[in-house]
Structure 1
């Protein structure tokens, strides 16, 4: 990594504004999360995520002046901080010390305070790190790690603080950067993915906690109580050599041998399935996928992947879908893929319960990523594809050996055709990753897979396994492979964004009712979308309402972990306040087939026989829905 010296900050002049400690403290407290995020992003990733988190908090907390301190003139900030010299001052202090912390230590000079591990805050027995983001965040972090400290600061000031280039140069100069123009030019080599800087991946105030090495802590505790002879024995144990157990790449060191665990981490014992196994097997799932990729013979890479799986080091980004255990393998896993994908080396393994993806940069094991996804009970449809990697807003898949064709389709345009995707040794060409888009939803690209049994759709929701899309009444769902099914999904595709990283196995869209509107302007559609997860719990149900000509559906009600709209209870009832074109307000409600009557309580009282209700209402009224089914069972409104 490049480095640039950080010059002392320019001495303030009498014309500079004066900031006292109270004013600086108020700004620090108000904008603390933003300042800590800025420090975390500027600090060198080589420190490791745990130390970056702790150091970012320490530098921010030490940014207060000792008294009335002249602050250099700096540019105005984004909305909410305009003209606040207190914020400007503490931000400058944070930036200066974060740049200092990234400088290499010199033998001929004492280290600066910011270059030393912080005394406070300290967390014993735990490793703290931000929540893992997606592949786009990982790629951005790797690009930023290749920059010098001042260049990282320039990128962050541009993207996080929304400063112009001139303002960035002035702030860097005030923070002691020797060549702000060079830093700005270097930062310009990284794509402008500024929205990702607000990701949880770079939020050191929203943290996950994992224990430190428990074996090492136990042995250290024993060593502290032992005599000199016992310390020597423990020292020998800590330095115990071994062919398969030395620190390997991004893996943490190990301090005791375990024969069964060693066998699980031996690349030579990986399970490899014959390319034609799926054609004769009674099962059609991940267990019959052959090993593919150009690096299946790279024993060193496979060994690193297995070692990181068993004991991920501090710098490894670990993510797991909800309900997925992240422990090491209990036996030799199956190799599904090992190859080069968009500038990274990727290994995908399967242990019968989980898909595990290990990824590292081509030229370094630093910043490696380890992702887990639960796939127990996967059938032919769910085991049709895996995500190999995401980069530059695109996603690549590895398809099952039984997939004969792959194509890309925009779910918002049901009348448009699908675009064929090239597939090489099971790896697809990149397609647009709609789940990563920010702001307005203008398209939702899904992958269309074809095999001997038919065609199905799958969508990327930010996890290793794409979610299967279906349509139809619960218990009688079918694939989205007809014009009618595509039209059903089109207005509700953008609601899939709310399901990102939730461990979703499949999403079904069911048009359960059509209701004539009271002002005779046409009929509205009621659709229920239900997302099932791999873990069983955590299901999400949305009742959506769409008026004639409306491009998108509106969420009328939602609930989690309820049987409604599912195979165990297909009934669903939901309502919405709707304003007619002439200005009148109505409470509209619709139940699924088999609803005998609907009534309301609370803010208004109305009732109707059958599965539809339309009643005049006041704006903002709140009412509860109750219904009865044809067999006399009582049901309540969703949400």
Structure 2
């Protein structure tokens, strides 16, 4: 217990009152993103309110000996900031910790205001680093401390290696760019300015009498137990909330047309569909299995997706019979849960993170799957869906029938690992003009990688001339389809990894020695729902077959490379000309102004490409020099 004098406690209380939003924002940043936005908001507020120290030490009485001289007492704000950091850091790796006793919010889900693409990308980057690194970033950009002051605070907060935390924070800062400070002060990271969503909608009004009776029973039970207003009462309320989460009558149901009249176009806008959407017995079984899976139940979860029971009534998306299997799909604001009940077989549960879904990544989910086929359940805003083969870039698309409840006909699944790769079916979607202007409504592609939610495919062409390239675009144009044909079969390595999107970036073109033609360098980046991403760099020589994957030049996991927060990339390979002579080839992205090779090959170039004679197996260290200063190492295979 932190014992303080009355004066110190009063200063701390004044600091909390004066700087409350600032402290809550810092706590929210440090808390683990895996907690989910609603729980992080409540926990951040609770931790700051708990940061007020206890007053248990009495000042010395008058006439006593004077205290020894020492360092000046810390300010009230420094004290509560330090206590807030310690409390928030304690949650790292311990998501099972309960919510602080305050505040308590019933019947609402709280979320910070959604930001744009930049805020989302920064949030994903922050979710991939430890709490100590997020704390260092917060002390720099939210608190305005320099490195020495931040190091001292981190050390006092219990960080074992503050210098390592600051080095990692500096790396993240460089990758995310100079706008990180502005983004961290935006509404996306402000847990004091929140949006609310009800958990049981208008059903409360119809159940006033039941609620009053239930409250009376709880109150009587608390009196009998002898714990009025104490821990027993809180436990009773928690039990009631858990019971409400398992009540099929309390499931949230979005109105059918809300998707066309909302600014949040994601899974929260999906209406409840399916012939069994009113079957309370089926819904109750699905909720019970989710809350307490039987021993023989099969449970599948995407990477880093929690399988915890519901803590509030979830939203119903679908309930119906799919290929002789009863299927229920629920959404708790952060996860999708698909319950499948085959005849004479054990039930199955499939969990997937979908926090931060949007128009494209919330466009479909896998409602049924069999041997070599699957079906999608489409978002209500999808107006057209077709199927195409990625390995045949110029092949026409084939229309796909959709049932009135949004379920598609069977779609062939991409080939499994180890099998031949003669085709790669993907679905091509188009959104309704009710929410997207017809002139700016490109089709988009989703592919199945064995998760509950398909993966969004995008393409980023190299910048033309002196104009910088724009952001990723939909991968439906001829250059994008040609790039995807080379990459499609390599997507099999990403199955079941919780991938949200895959972007293909043709970051450089290179004229080969001895009139060998023009080659293309491509970086494929896979971003996961939990934040971290992985990349592969491939070299595509001229005259390759449409589906030839080219040569692997480099790869990396848990990296910002080939994203807007890691826009610089270099790759290198050994290549043999028609004459039989071997060369070291290297190429970099737009801001690479020169390339140096050392080790077994020594060469220097003054542009974004390099070609130097080299032995077939000569080792080389390749580094690109950036036009604005700094360097970037080539990724290794």
TM-score, normalisation: structure 1: 0.58
| 1:461 aligned partner | 449
1:534-576 alpha-carbon deviations (Å, 9 max, x no partner): 1112x11011111112121222110012222101121110001
Counterpart Cα distance in 2 of 1:544 and 1:485: 15
| 2:511 aligned partner | 516
Q: Secondary structure at the match of 1:434?
A: coil
Counterpart Cα distance in 2 of 1:519 and 1:433: 43
Q: Contact 2:537 / 2:571 at 8 angstroms: preserved in 1?
A: yes
Q: CA deviation at 1:437?
A: 5.7
Q: Contact 2:250 / 2:313 at 8 angstroms: preserved in 1?
A: yes
Counterpart Cα distance in 2 of 1:440 and 1:601: 40
Counterpart Cα distance in 2 of 1:314 and 1:438: 32
Q: Contact 1:435 / 1:460 at 8 angstroms: preserved in 2?
A: no
Q: CA deviation at 1:282?
A: 2.1
Counterpart Cα distance in 1 of 2:445 and 2:627: 35
State which of 278, 282, 294 in structure 2 corresponds to 1:301: 282
* 1:50-69 correspondence to structure 2 within 5 Å: none
Q: Secondary structure at the match of 1:427?
A: coil
Farther-moved stretch of structure 1 (306-315 vs 597-606): 597-606
State which of 278, 297, 301 in structure 1 corresponds to 2:259: 278
Counterpart Cα distance in 2 of 1:604 and 1:487: 33
From the superposition, tell whether residues 626 and 475 of structure 1 become closer, same or farther in structure 2 (CA, over 3 Å): same
| 2:542 aligned partner | 548
1:490 aligns with 2:470: no
From the superposition, tell whether residues 439 and 581 of structure 1 become closer, same or farther in structure 2 (CA, over 3 Å): farther
| 2:90 aligned partner | none
Q: Secondary structure at the match of 1:489?
A: helix
State which of 417, 420, 436 in structure 1 corresponds to 2:396: 417
| 1:321 aligned partner | 302
State which of 519, 529, 532 in structure 2 corresponds to 1:534: 529
| 2:367 aligned partner | 388
1:571-602 alpha-carbon deviations (Å, 9 max, x no partner): 11000111223322211111011211111122
1:455-479 alpha-carbon deviations (Å, 9 max, x no partner): 1000001101101000116861111
Counterpart Cα distance in 1 of 2:339 and 2:262: 28
Counterpart Cα distance in 2 of 1:334 and 1:475: 37
| 1:370 aligned partner | 349
Q: CA deviation at 1:343?
A: 2.3
1:228-249 alpha-carbon deviations (Å, 9 max, x no partner): xxxxxxxxxxxxxxxxxxxxxx
Q: CA deviation at 1:440?
A: 2.3
RMSD: 1.6
Q: CA deviation at 1:319?
A: 1.3
1:433 aligns with 2:413: yes
Q: Contact 2:415 / 2:421 at 8 angstroms: preserved in 1?
A: no
Q: Contact 2:449 / 2:495 at 8 angstroms: preserved in 1?
A: yes
Q: CA deviation at 1:435?
A: 4.8
| 1:147 aligned partner | none
| 2:430 aligned partner | 450
From the superposition, tell whether residues 621 and 544 of structure 1 become closer, same or farther in structure 2 (CA, over 3 Å): same
Counterpart Cα distance in 2 of 1:515 and 1:549: 14
* 1:176-195 correspondence to structure 2 within 5 Å: none
Counterpart Cα distance in 2 of 1:345 and 1:437: 29
1:279-310 alpha-carbon deviations (Å, 9 max, x no partner): 11221110010111121122221111111111
| 1:557 aligned partner | 554
| 1:596 aligned partner | 593
Q: Secondary structure at the match of 2:488?
A: helix
Q: Contact 1:475 / 1:566 at 8 angstroms: preserved in 2?
A: no
Q: Secondary structure at the match of 1:628?
A: strand
Q: CA deviation at 1:317?
A: 1.1
State which of 495, 502, 507 in structure 2 corresponds to 1:507: 502
State which of 300, 319, 338 in structure 1 corresponds to 2:319: 338
How many equivalent pairs are there? 381
Q: Secondary structure at the match of 1:380?
A: coil
State which of 559, 574, 583 in structure 2 corresponds to 1:577: 574
Counterpart Cα distance in 2 of 1:621 and 1:368: 56
Counterpart Cα distance in 2 of 1:582 and 1:606: 21
1:157-189 alpha-carbon deviations (Å, 9 max, x no partner): xxxxxxxxxxxxxxxxxxxxxxxxxxxxxxxxx
Q: Contact 2:594 / 2:608 at 8 angstroms: preserved in 1?
A: yes
Counterpart Cα distance in 1 of 2:600 and 2:298: 50
Counterpart Cα distance in 2 of 1:621 and 1:340: 61
Q: Secondary structure at the match of 1:258?
A: helix
| 2:154 aligned partner | none
Counterpart Cα distance in 2 of 1:293 and 1:573: 50
